[in-house]
């Protein structure tokens, strides 16, 4: 079946100037032609959707989400306060809502098991395309080692699709990477520092994993065709991650502290996923140590984003949603613009840039011939104000792989 969207102003995700009165021709799940409407043709029996007066953008991508997480509370994190089935259905609702806001692809940075991806692919539930990490690999005491403040290891029911993720020593690290891939991981998530919300004593500048362990992790992941996304905020652990050759630095709050690090990322082509959204939440955290860390890192984080822009480090948008609930993922675009990106740069960070970070730039992230037809029709122009993308009423149409997944257009006069 052929479907055509005509008349919209097209922002194709490549950074090219918007095209007025464009047409996008969709054959099956892919884009077969795109450009100014006047230069394109399509079969007489094609379904033509009048998109005039709107802006058409690529399907949005969140490069760092935790779709199956629903709060930082200990009982919630350890799955103690509701049945697993209730939590799974809550997650299904988040998947549906995320897609309906124009997010057609999400990289889950830990917590979502491979069954959700199958359910989406089989059409059992609506949701974005998923790229899964399953679990955060770390050494004993790292952020993947989920021990309670009382010292109890109460991870509860063992889900074989979320296999153990604590490993010490190069051989053990390789084994855990292989186990994660066996369970369905598309990407390997690790952490070489603490974070704002980690336990007291393992903060943003405290290291986890040795260089030898990280080299084993990266080598094994790459040998299995998986990229490595590394939670790293600052200090020696951040340097270890870059020296080991991870593919993306998640958070990267203190990248500005060592003048050579962002230059190294630019040369190595390492992606920077700042996840500014989560720290807005942490700055208001009820836990004093979390609040203090988030306040202390803020100026460094903004400086790191600015310097990354100057040096041409590729930036991808990610919210780190989940612990702080599931606000609208496009919040990250608002904060990226506040940090110094232009609206066009922020939009690219959530489309072409994020696609490249996931290694999917030949499939998604831009509106170009041959790409999967992931499209969002927006009432208004997000280049004038990226916060338009936070308003469900303005996300008029969401198309994923050529299929209409959300349609909020008001009925047209016949
Ligand atoms: Zn995260």
Q: Name residue 231's beta-bridge partners.
A: 191, 250
Compute, in angstroms, the gap from residue 231 CA to the centroid of ligand 1. Answer: 7
Among 369, 371, 321, 411, CA closest to 63: 321
pLDDT for 24-45, tens place per residue? 999 999 999 999 999 999 999 9
Please determine, for residue 387, whether its predicted confidence score (pLDDT) is greater than 90.
yes
Look-up of token digits 């004593």: 201
Compute, in angstroms, the gap from residue 30 CA to the centroid of ligand 1. Answer: 31
pLDDT for 291-317, tens place per residue? 999 999 999 999 999 999 999 999 999
What pLDDT score was predicted for residue 187?
Answer: 98
What pLDDT score was predicted for residue 316?
Answer: 98
If you average pLDDT over residues 389-398, what whole number do you get? 97
Compute, in angstroms, the gap from residue 58 CA to the centroid of ligand 1. Answer: 24
Question: Taking the model in full, what pTM does it have?
Answer: 0.97
The pLDDT confidence band at residue 155, using thresholds 50, 70 and 90, is low
H-state helical runs in 196-260: 211-223, 235-244
What pLDDT score was predicted for residue 157?
Answer: 52
Q: CA-CA distances (angstroms) from residue 412 to 48, 299, 397, 409?
A: 13, 48, 14, 8
Compute, in angstroms, the gap from residue 413 CA to the centroid of ligand 1. Answer: 46
Compute, in angstroms, the gap from residue 65 CA to the centroid of ligand 1. Answer: 6
If you average pLDDT over residues 378-391, what whole number do you get? 98
Please determine, for residue 79, whether its predicted confidence score (pLDDT) is greater than 90.
no
Of 110-114, 143-147, 206-210, 354-358, minimum mean pLDDT range = 143-147
Compute, in angstroms, the gap from residue 8 CA to the centroid of ligand 1. Answer: 35
Under a CB-based contact definition with an 8 Å cutoff, are residues 135 and 114 in contact? no
Residues in the chain: 414
Residues with CB under 5 A from ligand 1 (ion): 109, 320
If you average pLDDT over residues 250-262, what whole number do you get? 96
pLDDT for 325-375, tens place per residue? 898 999 999 999 999 999 999 999 999 999 999 999 999 999 999 999 999
What pLDDT score was predicted for residue 414?
Answer: 47
Compute, in angstroms, the gap from residue 259 CA to the centroid of ligand 1. Answer: 25
Compute, in angstroms, the gap from residue 109 CA to the centroid of ligand 1. Answer: 6
What is the chain's mean pLDDT, rounded?
Answer: 95
Compute, in angstroms, the gap from residue 169 CA to the centroid of ligand 1. Answer: 24
Look-up of token digits 């393992």: 202
Q: What percentage of residues in the chain have a pLDDT greater than 90?
A: 91
Q: Name residue 22's beta-bridge partners.
A: 8, 36
Please determine, for residue 127, whether its predicted confidence score (pLDDT) is greater than 90.
yes
């Amino acid at each position: 079946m052929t479907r055509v969207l005509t008349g919209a102003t097209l922002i194709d995700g490549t950074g090219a100037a918007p095209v007025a009165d464009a047409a996008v021709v969709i054959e099956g799940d892919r884009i077969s032609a795109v450009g100014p409407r006047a230069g394109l043709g399509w079969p007489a029996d094609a379904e033509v959707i009048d998109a005039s007066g709107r802006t058409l953008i690529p399907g949005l991508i969140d490069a760092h989400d935790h779709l199956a997480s629903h709060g930082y509370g200990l009982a919630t994190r350890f799955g103690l306060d509701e049945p697993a089935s209730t939590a799974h259905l809550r997650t299904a609702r988040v998947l549906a809502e995320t897609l309906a806001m124009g997010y057609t692809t999400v990289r889950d940075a830990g917590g979502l098991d491979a069954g959700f991806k199958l359910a989406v692919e089989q059409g059992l539930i609506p949701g974005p395309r998923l790229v899964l990490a399953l679990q955060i690999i770390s050494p004993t005491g790292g952020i993947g080692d989920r021990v309670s403040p009382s010292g109890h290891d109460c991870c509860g029911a063992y889900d074989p699709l979320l296999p153990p993720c604590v490993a010490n020593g190069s051989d053990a690290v390789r084994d855990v990477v292989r186990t994660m891939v066996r369970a369905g991981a598309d990407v390997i998530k690790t952490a070489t520092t603490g974070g704002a919300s980690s336990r007291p004593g393992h903060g943003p500048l405290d290291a986890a994993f040795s260089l030898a362990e990280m080299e084993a992790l990266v080598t094994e992941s790459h040998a299995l065709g998986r990229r490595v996304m590394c939670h790293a905020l600052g200090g020696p652990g951040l340097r270890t991650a870059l020296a080991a050759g991870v593919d993306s630095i998640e958070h990267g709050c203190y990248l500005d502290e060592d003048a050579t690090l962002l230059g190294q990322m630019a040369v190595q082509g390492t992606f920077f996923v700042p996840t500014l959204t989560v720290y807005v939440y942490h700055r208001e955290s009820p836990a004093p140590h979390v609040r203090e860390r988030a306040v202390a890192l803020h100026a460094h984080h903004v400086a790191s984003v600015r310097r990354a822009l100057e040096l041409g480090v590729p930036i991808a948008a990610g919210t780190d949603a989940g612990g702080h609930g599931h606000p609208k993922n496009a919040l990250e675009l608002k904060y990226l613009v506040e940090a110094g990106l232009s609206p066009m740069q922020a939009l690219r960070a959530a489309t072409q840039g994020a696609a490249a970070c996931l290694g999917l730039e030949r499939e998604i992230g831009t509106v170009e011939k041959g790409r999967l037809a992931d499209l969002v029709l927006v009432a208004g122009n997000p280049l004038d104000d990226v916060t338009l993308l936070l308003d469900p009423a303005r996300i008029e149409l969401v198309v994923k792989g050529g299929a209409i997944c959300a349609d909020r257009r008001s009925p047209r006069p016949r």
